[in-house]
Each structure stands twice: as structure tokens, then as C-alpha cells.
């Protein structure tokens, strides 16, 4: 049987990628005061996905809806929606940005920049520093021209 050896260049590249794009957390859970938490975590196959889903659900509770964000943009001006996604799955948005010609780094930076990306409780809006927009949401067609909004 052939032994699987990782080349030093692969180890270095992986470490560089992890340093740039990953963050580690260590959780110490008390067997005495939180045995229920330990039991639950032990029963979950993918702990990262489970914890990430819990955190995202908690964050969604405090986020405005897409409609509230549109209403605020319409009321107060400023940035207007460039794109709206009816999902909070950022990997879908990331893939769409790659399809549009953004590099991996540009797409990741754009999604991480909350100046341009609003993660709402029911979707994601990518904003534009513009007075022009044309988009649809919840059966309504929005047009922004010269900062003036029309809704059909």
C-alpha cells in the first residue's frame, strides 16, 4: 500500500490559507455544570455546522427583514440595493460573485464588508453606492433613478 505523504509545500500553503481565512476557538465545557451541553455536542456529528447554525439563528432574530432594509433605504436615501438574494446562505452569494468575475479574495472581502452586504433575517442585500438601481422583491419592482424611488 502506498503511504500518503503530505509535501512541505502543501503544509505551508495550507497554513497560509488557514492563517488568512480561518479562526480557531477552544471551548472548555464543564462536566459538572453543563453535562447536558456535553451530551448534546457528543450526539452531533458535525459540531462546527451545529454551532454555526445556532449562532446564525440567534443573529437572525436581531436582524431587520429585507423589506425593512429596503424601506429604510427608500426613506433615508444613501446606499441602494444592487442585488437581493432570498437566502442567508453566503456560499450561494459567494458562488454568484465568482460567476460574475470576482476573484476568491474579492468575493470574500465583499461579503465580509457589512458596508456593502446586509445580512437580513430573510435574505441578503448587496448594496451599491449609487443613485441607480433596478430590482424585484416580494412581487414588487423597484427602480431608483437619480435617487428617486418608484415601486410598481
Inter-residue contact 98 to 105 (CB < 8 Å): no
- The CA-CA-CA angle for residues 64, 65, 69, to 5°, reads 75
Question: Which range among 33-42, 57-66, 82-91 has the greatest average pLDDT?
Answer: 33-42
Reported residue count of the chain is 152
Q: Residue 7 phi/psi, 5° resolution? A: -75, 150
Q: Return mean pLDDT, the chain.
A: 85
Mean pLDDT across 48-53: 93
Query: Of all helices (H) and strands (E), which one includes residue 150?
Result: strand 148-151
Residue 59 has pLDDT above 90, yes or no: no
Inter-residue contact 137 to 70 (CB < 8 Å): yes
Distance CA(152)–CA(142), nearest Å, equals 7
User: Measured in Å, how far apart are the chain's first and last C-alpha atoms?
Assistant: 67
Residue 2 has pLDDT above 70, yes or no: no
As given in the structure block, the three cell numbers for residue 8 are: 512541505
Residue 42 has pLDDT above 90, yes or no: yes
Residue 121 has pLDDT above 70, yes or no: yes
Count other C-beta atoms under 10 Å from residue 64's C-beta. Answer: 16
Amino acid at each position: 500500500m502506498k503511504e500518503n505523504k503530505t509535501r512541505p509545500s502543501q503544509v505551508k500553503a495550507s497554513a497560509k490559507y488557514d492563517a488568512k481565512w480561518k479562526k480557531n476557538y477552544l471551548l472548555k465545557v464543564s462536566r459538572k455544570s453543563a453535562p447536558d451541553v456535553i451530551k448534546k455536542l457528543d450526539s452531533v456529528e458535525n459540531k462546527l455546522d451545529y454551532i454555526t447554525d445556532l449562532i446564525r439563528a440567534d443573529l437572525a432574530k436581531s436582524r431587520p427583514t429585507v423589506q425593512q432594509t429596503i424601506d429604510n433605504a427608500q426613506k433615508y436615501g444613501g446606499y441602494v440595493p444592487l442585488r437581493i438574494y432570498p437566502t442567508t446562505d453566503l456560499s450561494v452569494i459567494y458562488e454568484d460573485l465568482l460567476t460574475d468575475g470576482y476573484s476568491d479574495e474579492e468575493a470574500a472581502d465583499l461579503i465580509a464588508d457589512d458596508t456593502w452586504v446586509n445580512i437580513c433575517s430573510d435574505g441578503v442585500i448587496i448594496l451599491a453606492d449609487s443613485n441607480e438601481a433596478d430590482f424585484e422583491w416580494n412581487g414588487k419592482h423597484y427602480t431608483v433613478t437619480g435617487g428617486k424611488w418608484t415601486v410598481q
